[in-house]
Structure 1
Amino acid sequence: MAVPESPGTRFFTVAQSSTGSWSFIDPEGKPFVSLGVNHIDDSDLRYPHNVDVWNERYGSRQKWEQGVVADLQSLNFNTIGWTSQYISGGWGEALDWFGDPVDLGHSHPWPDRDLLEAGMPYVVQLRVQEIEDWNGHPAYRDVYGEDFAKYADWLARRMTSDHKDSSNLIGYFLVDIPGWLPHAAGQFWPGFDGLSTQEHDAKLYDVAQQYYKTITEAIRRYDPNHLNLGDRYNGNKGIPEAVLRAMTDYVDVLSVQYFTGKSPEEYATMIGDLRNWQQLTGKPVLIADIGNWVSTAMNPHRTSDMETHEERGQDYANGLATIMQEPWIIGWHWCGYIENLGRGWGIKDPQDNFYTDMTDPMRAANAAAQTTIADR
């Protein structure tokens, strides 16, 4: 086994073996690949079209969360991923971070107590800056100012207080697809207008380093034991080299969102991009958001290079097996859980039933990935 077991530390860590293979190491000291589902939110069953399902099947958030855990475990997932969900609908066909900015309402993450009581590995979100690529009204706040330092300290103090002793917490994510490249809304940190490429990159490195330094020191001040999973970068849009160089002294895992088609060529492009960023940072990679979709009765406009849920399941199995051959990839988190009007895809339909043509191969693929991480 390339990544040896260790005596355990009570907390999740990351480790690299003498052969170069990376892995999460769980609190018992065993190699762990994080297989998560993102956007798990009860709002998906509280729309007019399906609130009766909520009332009849669950009736309380506690009972629903028990159902979530049972669903994940039945499919051999082992992580509760990023739990905020798009709820406003009307996203249309445009990719918001390439075209006009979209004002998408989103739900709040799971409450701390709910994550702690779920009884399985999970992540916690720290929204350090409101600069997401999907955010139609980003706010680039001065990373050098006293206000940001005080906010980062409060955010870390608040968000670690319930989780710092948890053996199920994998680590803390920062911002979801932050706008480190020019934002579709036109905003950016001040002082970048008119700079040469060299000047721009130098200034961006300095801003990013201050950003990561401030929040990481705040997190470690109150919780020195858990991983900093960093920003969930937008791999499809690209990641500036200056930002990646700035994060290396502060972040433990390179977390990247990346959506790709089903062809081997598209997967090769994704892996090539991830490999370049991994080699630049020297960090293991968590694919923090990835997914696929097809046209459905509720979302007929959601077309892709797949037409059936069986194709989605085969793509899932092929994709996961492909990325698990890379010794520096240590997990992937799938988008998403229940199909709704905003996101338009999921592993369950709007009536809370699995798309079994997809989830049957998904179950087997997850089991195989957990064997692969142990045998690398």
Structure 2
Amino acid sequence: MTYDDIAAWADRFDAADPLAAHAPAFVEADGVHAYLDGNSLGRPLKATRDRLVDFLDGAWGERLIRSWDEQWFHAPTEVGDRIAALTLGSGPGQTIVADSTTVLLYKLVRAAVDGAEGRDEIVIDTGNFPTDRFVVEGIAAERGLRIRMLDPDPAGGVTADDVRAVVGERTALVLLSHVAYRSGHLADLVAITEAAHTAGAMVLWDLCHSVGVVDFSLDDAGVDLAVGCTYKYLNGGPGSPAFGYVSHMAQDRITQPIQGWMGAADPFAMGPSYVAADGIRAFISGTPPILAMQPMLDMLDLVEQAGIAAIRAKSVALTTFATDAADELLAPLGVRLASPRDPDLRGGHVTLAHPDFREVTARAWQQGVIPDFRPPDGLRIGLSPLSTTFAEVARGIGAVATLLSPEP
């Protein structure tokens, strides 16, 4: 099959795509022919220009400090509830938008192990994102804990059987990524959560690569804790704040370790000692990043219009198309698939491997084709369903094939 065949195939998919009408809502980048990095940083929405101007002129410029009383004070929980309802399959009162992913991970890992009396082990895996592993290393050193490190298949990820083999009466917490950042492997959230609970441990899920692109329910799975960023598939922009989920049951079991004024029962009382707020608000620490929350609100509107089930369906279609196109155009050039082939075991990105991909990625960027590279040899194709077209995927994979092909 030639590139022209792949391109024609993509055009037919785009013509039949029920979500195709949403792509023009995003800002177009001059000179970019294929943006295949939506799993690292989502495109901005055109509507966000007006939102930011309105915020500057209105809530901030006109209302000034009064906006804290009128709207900003409740933004961390209100936006959290919206993320929960639209993307996490969870009810209100369990999600906040507050800090960075790393800070929220620290809070929830530390809270979980501090509340696990008589348990001194944390389970994590070698393939987890560096910040997750670094946070666990630091807390383990602080608290004198043991780390049980899983070592999954690099082209796959952690399974429920892997977890069952290591958890036990000493396990305080299992921390895993729902979608592996390298391979795109989609973990069995329900079965792994059950395995941790059977051993009496809590589970904390990193949702950075699944929120907004995978359809799941934290409440139905009985998840204790979760953290996720908002700059990937929720298009909140660079440095947009993360969210933290603490189930109602877990809220009764743990206490967050960074006591700040915005998590107090009465922040403006300026009292002599800390008294925690009721419920999820107790997991806020300092002043919430209100300005940085604004861009994701437009994406949440779009997610609500499209529906997470339809978004997931297109994600599966996009990653399947990318895999099939790579089989036709790249496999003959020595490229191998480094992601699960089964779409039920795959999140929103596909990773391909070749020893020349570091150089190829750099040259592709110069040509306006933007995937990303993950050492030692992985080229990730991140596909954001509401902004990515099938034609864009075809152009990107075609460009990679051209760059890998020997010169005539």
Structure whose alpha-carbon radius of gyration is higher: 2
- Give TM-score scaled by structure 2 length: 0.28
Higher helix proportion? 2
Higher relative contact order (CA 8 A, sep 6+): 2
